[in-house]
Structure 1
Amino acid sequence: MKRNATIMVLGVAAILLIAIIFFQDRQEIGSQPGMIAENFSLPMHNQDAGELNDYSGDVIILNMWASWCEPCRDEMPDLMRLQADYEAEGLTILTVNMQKLERTLTDAPRFIEELEINLPVFFDEDGVVYERYNIIGMPTTYIISRDGTIEHLIRGEVHYEGLETLIEPLL
């Protein structure tokens, strides 16, 4: 009888230990630093559709912008230059146009053409990413590590040197 009780207590303890280890290592999915970046699937410029998880395994800079946003316009050349300089090391810069916030549906494509943007551009037509990522201003930039964890959230204009400092430890 004592032996059965001992085996049962050890069994319960083992199950609890496994459960603690399993649930402790799980990260929450969301839009804040320390969380796993929530996947999304959206139409894209120059291709039908894509999703964030298509780029997993890379360090990702995820930049949210609108064509009427001057800081968005000002930072785009730095983003393109950073992509060119660090692509071979596993950096991918993705951009999401907040299509729902544009004045007309032709504003974003005109912006892309005018600035000769050569980065992947997602179109958030229905505001799905806007809501899930709690965008409160433009531009908003996320730096995501190779395992999908959001490392940094930057509200406002970004620059080459500042981003370079943040991504180098992740590459």
Structure 2
Amino acid sequence: MIITAILTFGTSIAFWLVVPDSPTSAWFLTPQERVVSVMRLKANQTGVENKHFKKEQYVCEASVLQNDASRIYRMIEALLDPKTWLFALLSGLANVPKGLSNQSAVIIASIRFSILQTTLLGCVIGVGETVVIWTTCVISSRTGSRAWVIFVYYLPNNLGTILASTLPWTN
């Protein structure tokens, strides 16, 4: 645990020192490439850098809501949007199998596998995750829908978690 924390902290320091804040300060880009990257951001209508905190984007005060009916409309629209609820469900379902995946080595070892076999079977889980992530990206890019693809991919995962949690350990 300490080793992974040290590695994570070291990686974050390395990123902080090496990765630039914006395309305009990217040391690895030529001046022409910097201009192109800023133009892409402009085309997407996103800024290069903004260090100003806008309270009205984060806090909805009652007086503001009474004077601005469009904010209420946007809030209601977001609550009625199926994608909002799908992403909320996705966030909830993403946390269901965490406990099981963290205990997979214990579960595999309880089936009387050796330490080496348990480790090797854990590697298969990692390969499976990589394949699922790759196919999710491919299918999402072809269909144009991330939410539905991820939702469908979570169904067997959560079904397996429910079965592993509820089925008896013995026959």
Common topology (TM > 0.5):
no
Q: By percentage of residues, which structure has more helix?
A: 2
Could you say which structure has the larger radius of gyration? 2
Provide the TM-score with structure 1 as the length reference.
0.23
Q: By percentage of residues, which structure has more strand?
A: 1
